[in-house]
Every structure is written in C-alpha cells, then in structure tokens.
Amino acid sequence: MEVAVGRRRVLALALVLNAGCVHRAPALFGERIPRACAGRAGKSERCIGWIRDRTMLATAVRAYPDAELAAYVSAVGARVVSATGDRTGGWTFRVLDDPSPQANANPGRVIYVDRGAIALVRDEAELAGLLGHEIAHELAGHAHMGLVDGDVPATRTAEDERDDEIQADELGIQFAARAGYDPRGLERALRALATVAPESGEGEDAHHPAWPIRFAHVEAVAARLPATGAHDDRVLRRLLPRVVVGLDPRHQAIVGRAVVFAELGLAVDFPFALDSDVTRLAEQAVQVELSSQVAVDLRVLPDAVARYITEDNELAVTRHRARGQTLVISGVGDHARVHMIGAAVRAVRPDELAQIHPRFVDLTVPRALATE
C-alpha cells in the first residue's frame, strides 16, 4: 500500500510540475520550454513529447552513462529512420539505465531503449528490428494515442493495443529490411525477449499479443522479404560487454544491515537484517518494511526534483544531498521511526564499496544465461 502511495506521489508531482511549468514558468526542470510549445500550441504532439521526455528524465529514468553506446544506438536508429522515408527529423534515441528488457516510443520522435533490452541483442539486425518497432509506433501514431486532442483513449481496447504491437512489428521489420538489415532480426530479438518475459501477452487484458501469435506475424512478414542484409556487428559486440546486466549495485545495494548508495557515497544503517524486508522499486529506489504498517522509501532523485517532495500529514521526509543528487527517505504512517531511519545516514565505507560488483554482458555464454 505504501508503495502505491509513494508512486502516485511521484506521478502527481510530475503532473503538477508539467502543468505548472507549461502555463506559468519558462522552464521545465531547468530547461527552457521551446517557444513553440507555449499556450495552446503546447498541446501538439511534439510539445507533449518534449514535456514528457523532460519529466521522465528528471523524475523517472536516467540515461545510461556510456556515450559511445548512446551514439551507436542513435546511429542505427537514424539509419532505420532514413529508410522509412520520414523527413520530419528531430528523432532522439536514448539508452536508459534500466535493467528491464524494454523499449518505448514517446510522442515527439523520442525512442527509449533500456540497457536490459540492449543486453539481450547479439547483432545489429536485432537492434535495428527493435528500434524499427518503436519507430513504427511513433510513425503510426500509437505513441501519442490518448495524449493529443482528438484521440479518445476510452475507445482503445486491449485488443487494439495488441494490434498496434503487431502493426509495429510488421512495420519495424520492413523499416529494418529497407535499411539493409536482415528482416529476421526482430524475430530473433523477440524470441530472446520471450525467454526472459515468457508471461508477456497472457490474459485478455494483456497489452501485447501472446508470443506464438507475435512470432507467426513477424515470420509471415519476414518471409516475404529478401533474406539478405549485411551489417557489421563488431562495434556492437565491442560495446556489449560494457553493458550492466540486472540491477546495478552501484546505484543501490544491500551490504550487511545497510542500504548502500555507492555513487552518492552514502549508506543507511538499519537495526535489523534486510534480506526479506527489502523491495527494489527501481534502479535507484528501495523500500524497507519496518513493520506490516510502516515502510520507508529510499529514493535517489535530482536535487531539483527532490525539493518538491514535502513533508505533510501523511508523509515523513528526510533528505541528504550528495554529488548533485538527493537521497530522499520518506515513509507513511510512523513519522518518528521514519525520521529515525533518516538520521542513520552516513558516509559509505571502503569495505562496503569493495563488496559491490556490477555484472556485465558475457558474450561467451548463451544470451539467456548471460542476461538473466
């Protein structure tokens, strides 16, 4: 329950900041709002995308700190975009520091690829297929459904969303093939995804089709295209071993009775063993249950965002700033205990840092093993 409250708060915060900044302030999270997005023009697809992207980057996601990998993914994405015939420009490809094997299209020509998805691919055709899928979502208008005037989200059913996924697969294959990649690349990537997310597509309310249906569609499209496509995988295979697999312990890790935020140089001591009391909320957030009624969130946020989280009747908050970021410790229910935890923050010790080892993609073993 406390988790849900916390998440809603962050979302509400983002929405409030969105609304506030569009109408009253010239900047959003420190970046100037484009003049074209002022007033009613702000409802355009590009502007909604810009606002969403800035809000996501400030509050919910962060870029994976590998400039060469980011440039490489952008180059592959640009090659696929050029094959679509789209000349509107302004495409942005972001590699996110998130272990989930996902990619997403944001309105306004912004494509997000989690490092967890990159860790799964083994050749450039697979990456091109994944990017083609997201590019297709954007070009076909799926990415902005429900966000822009005129598209009525209530009319979209789970079945519609599953069909959007199939259409994005079909177009993604074509785009990648036109860019010179093997049309079977997306299928290989999807089969790899299926090994780590076999439950995707199960149930009538699923937003993605069941894997057998998806495979049949991508094979049916790929079979109609020439099975050629030359690409050089050397760059990708050089970059892949630098990609972290799973949660990055440098963001947050459990060491003994402490939650350690190595990048911030901070640690929080708890008076009990943490193993069964910790839930990982995200890459930089954990929740520790103090009792069945009380839990605290330990969340790393940019300073500019953290200051918006205020203590009120429901939420006890303490903050610890370090290296341009803020560790926010918040909890619902028992203020005294939450504040006590907040007071237990200290500098991380060298012996704790010595126990933190991220795991990277291993190209010498099958990918299901290398990325699980």
Q: How far is the CB of 311 from another protein (least distance, A)?
A: 8
Distance between CA atoms of residues 39 and 270, nearest Å? 49
Q: How far is the CB of 221 from another protein (least distance, A)?
A: 7
Sole binder of another protein in the list 36, 38, 67, 223 (CB under 8 A): 223
Sole binder of another protein in the list 63, 70, 78, 166 (CB under 8 A): 166
Is 5 near another protein (CB under 8 A)? no
- For 212, the enclosing helix (H) or strand (E) is helix 211-222
Is 198 near another protein (CB under 8 A)? no
| DSSP result, 276-331 | GGEEEEETTEEEEESSSS-EEEEEEEEHHHHTT----SSEEEEEEEETTEEEEEEE
User: Among 28-36, 119-127, 170-178, 362-370, which window interacts with another protein (CB under 8 A)?
Assistant: 170-178
User: Among 55-63, 160-168, 228-236, 254-262, which window interacts with another protein (CB under 8 A)?
Assistant: 160-168
Instruction: Lay out the site mask for another protein across 10-49 (x = CB under 8 A, - = otherwise).
Output: ------------------------------x---------
What separation in angstroms does the CA of 272 have from each of 257, 280, 352? 6, 17, 17
Is 151 near another protein (CB under 8 A)? yes
Sole binder of another protein in the list 65, 146, 212, 241 (CB under 8 A): 212
Sole binder of another protein in the list 55, 174, 318, 325 (CB under 8 A): 174
Distance between CA atoms of residues 40 and 30, nearest Å? 22
Sole binder of another protein in the list 312, 324, 357, 364 (CB under 8 A): 312
Sole binder of another protein in the list 141, 146, 241, 265 (CB under 8 A): 141
DSSP E strands in the chain: the ranges are 27-28, 31-32, 92-96, 103-106, 110-114, 244-245, 253-255, 258-261, 266-269, 278-282, 285-289, 295-302, 315-322, 325-332, 345-347, 359-360
Q: What is the largest CA-CA distance in the chain?
A: 67
Residue 85 vs 271, nearer CB to another protein: 85
Is 202 near another protein (CB under 8 A)? no
Q: Is 4 helix (H, G, I), strand (E, B) or coil?
A: helix
Residues facing 321 on adjacent strands:
326
Q: Give the β-pairing of 278-282 and 285-289.
A: antiparallel
Residues at the contact surface with another protein, assessed by CB under 8 A: 40, 136, 139-141, 149-152, 155, 160, 163, 166-167, 170-171, 174, 184, 212-213, 215-217, 219-224, 312-313
